[in-house]
Amino acid sequence: MSCQPGEAATQDYMYAKQWKQHGSQGNGSPLAGAIPSTKEDGCERMRSSLALAQVLALAALWVAGESDTNIECQCSNPSLCQPVAAHIQHQVEVVVFDIGGKDWKHYDWSKVTTIIPVRAYDPEILCRAHANDVRVLLIGRITQPLLRSPAKRAAWMNEQIQVAKRQFMDGITLNYQQSLSDQSMYHTGLIELIRDTAQIFHREIPGSQIIFTVPWAPNCIEGQCYDFATIGKHCDFLFVRSYNMHDQTMNECFAMSNAPYHQVVSGLSAYINLGIESRKLVLGLALFGYDYTCKQLFEPGRCELEQNDLIRAPCSYHAARPVPYKDIMKLLPKSFTGKYWDEVSRVPYFNYMVNITYHEVWFDDPESISIKASILRKLKLRGIGMWNANYLNYSAVPIAAMQTEDMWNAMCPFRGKWRARII
C-alpha cells in the first residue's frame, strides 16, 4: 500500500494559512476542528499525523519569525535598515518625540540622538534617522491587564519585538501613567514587564534602548506610586516628564507656569535621592504652554481662575488650554501687555483679550529653556528631551524660522560635545 504525500502537504498548507488568518478557535487550539479524527487505514492516519506535525511546525515558525520574512527595506541605501550599531553612543542624549506629518524633514538632525514616532510609522523617518546615527524607538503602551497575567505579558513582549524588527527599529519607549492599587501583584507585574522587555530587546537588537517615561517627581504624582528605583535599574534611562506640575494645587487659583525651574530641579533631585544614577535621567521638557481664561485679572501675573471640580483640590492646569509654542508666537503680537518675566518660575507670560475676556499665557521660550538645559550639567544628567518637536514652526517665514532655530539651540547648548560618540 503506497501513500501519496501530495494531499497531506496541501492540507497542511491550507490549515497553516487558516490558522494564520483566523487564529485560535473552539477550545483555544489553533487547529481545533481543522483535522477530523478518523479510524481509517494506517495510510490515512499517517497522512493526518504528518499533516498535524507539519502544521504545528509551520505555526511555530510563523509565531517566532513571521516578521523576519517578506521584509523589504524602503531606504535607498539598504544599510540604513540596520539598527544603529551598539558601539555608537553619545555623551548627551537628545530624545525627540514626533506626532506625525513631515516636520521631521526640518529637524536639526545634528542634535538629535533618539527619535520616537508616536503615531503612524513613517519609514522615511527611519532612513533619515539612521543616516544620522539616530535611534528610532517603538512606543510600547502598557495596560493594566498585562500586569496581572504573565501569559499576556509574554505575548505582548513577543509582539513588540516582532514589530520593532519588522520596522528596523532600535528599541522601545515604555509608557504607563495609571495609578496602581496597593496590591503587590500590579507592582510586581510592572517591574517584571519592564525587566523582561529590556532583556529581550537587548538580546534581539544589540545596542537597542529601553526607556520608561516617569512623572516630574517620584512622589505618587497622579497616583503613579511605582518602584522607580528598581525600574531605573532595568532601563537604559528614564524620560522625566518635567511639566504639567500643577495637576492638583491646594493654593489659590491663579495662572502659573506648568514647569517652574525650582520644581524641575527638585523633582529630578528626588529621583537621584532614591538611588537612581543621574546618568539614567533625561530631562523632558514641553514645547507647549498654557492659555488660562481669567475669572478676574488684577494685574499681569495675577490671573484668577474659576475653580474646577477636582478631588482634593480646587484648581489645576486642567483649567487651561494647552497651546503649542508655534501658536503662542502667533498670539504674542496680540498681547496688550507684551512679554513679562516671572523671577520665581523663571518663565515668561503675557496677557491678551478676546472680546471682554482676559487671558494669560504661560510658556517656555529660548531663555527659560536655556536655564532648564543648564540643569544637565548641574545634576550630571544623561540628556534632555522634547515633547514634542512638531510644536515648533518649520515654515519658510523668516521670523518663524529664527524662533524655531533659537529653540533648538536652547535645547542643545553644548555644541562641541553634543553628538560626540563614545566608541
Residues 131 and 184 in one domain: yes
Quick: pLDDT tens for 231-267.
999 999 999 999 988 765 546 689 999 999 999 999 9
Q: Do 155 and 277 share a structural domain?
A: yes
93 and 181 assigned to the same domain: yes
Cα distances from 105 to residues 168, 232, 244, 322, 413, in angstroms, run 19, 33, 29, 25, 22
> CB atoms < 10 A from the CB of 246, how many?
22
**139 shares a domain with 11:** no
**DSSP assigned state of 254:** B
346 within domain boundaries: no
Does 52 lie in the same domain as 104? Answer: no
pLDDT in tens, the chain (423 residues): 444 334 333 333 333 333 233 333 333 333 233 333 343 444 444 444 444 444 343 344 334 444 444 468 999 999 999 999 999 998 899 999 999 999 999 999 999 999 999 988 899 999 999 999 999 999 999 999 999 999 999 999 999 999 999 999 999 999 998 888 666 888 899 999 999 999 999 999 999 999 999 999 999 888 888 999 999 999 999 999 999 887 655 466 899 999 999 999 999 999 999 999 999 999 999 999 999 999 999 999 999 988 766 555 567 667 789 999 999 999 999 999 999 999 999 999 999 999 999 999 999 999 999 999 999 999 999 999 999 999 999 999 999 999 999 999 998 866 544 555 554
What's the residue count for the chain?
423
Burial class (CB within 10 angstroms; exposed 0-12, middle 13-18, buried 19+) of 311 = exposed
Q: Residue 239: how many CA atoms within 13 Å on its side-chain side?
A: 27
pLDDT in the model for residue 23:
35
Q: Are residues 166 and 36 in the same domain?
A: no
Task: Tell whether 303 is covered by a domain.
Answer: no
Q: Which pLDDT value is given to residue 384? A: 96
Instruction: Check residue 245 and report its DSSP letter.
Output: -
User: Beta-strand (E) ranges in 5-162?
Assistant: 89-90, 93-98, 114-117, 135-136, 138-141
337: nearest Cα among 306, 366, 358, 365: 358
Rg (CA), the chain: 27
At 69 the pLDDT is 40
Residue in the block written with cell 489553533: 30
Question: Quick one: cell of 349?
Answer: 507670560
pLDDT of residue 149: 94
Could you identify the residue written with the cell 483649567? 319
Does one domain contain both 241 and 203?
A: yes
Using an 8 Å Cβ cutoff, are 261 and 72 in contact? no
360, part of any domain? no
Identify whether residues 194 and 269 lie together within a single domain: yes
The overall longest dimension of the chain from CA atoms, in Å, is 100
Here the cell at position 361 is 499665557
Residues 156, 46 share a domain = no
Q: Give the range of the structural domain holding residue 205, as residue numbers without chain letter.
A: 85-287+366-422
H or E stretch at 241: strand 237-241
How many angstroms separate the CA atoms of 346 and 364, rounded? 9
Looking at the structure of the chain, the number of domains it has is 2
Q: What is the dihedral sign for C-alpha 411, 416, 419, 420?
A: negative
Whether residues 418 and 270 share a domain: the answer is yes
pLDDT given for residue 31 in this prediction: 27
Question: Over the stretch 99-116, which tens digit does the pLDDT of each residue have?
Answer: 999 999 999 999 999 999
What CATH number did the domain enclosing 206 receive? Answer: 3.20.20.80
Residue 354: inside a domain: no
pLDDT at 279: 96
DSSP annotation of 338 reads -
Sign of CA dihedral 245, 250, 256, 261: negative
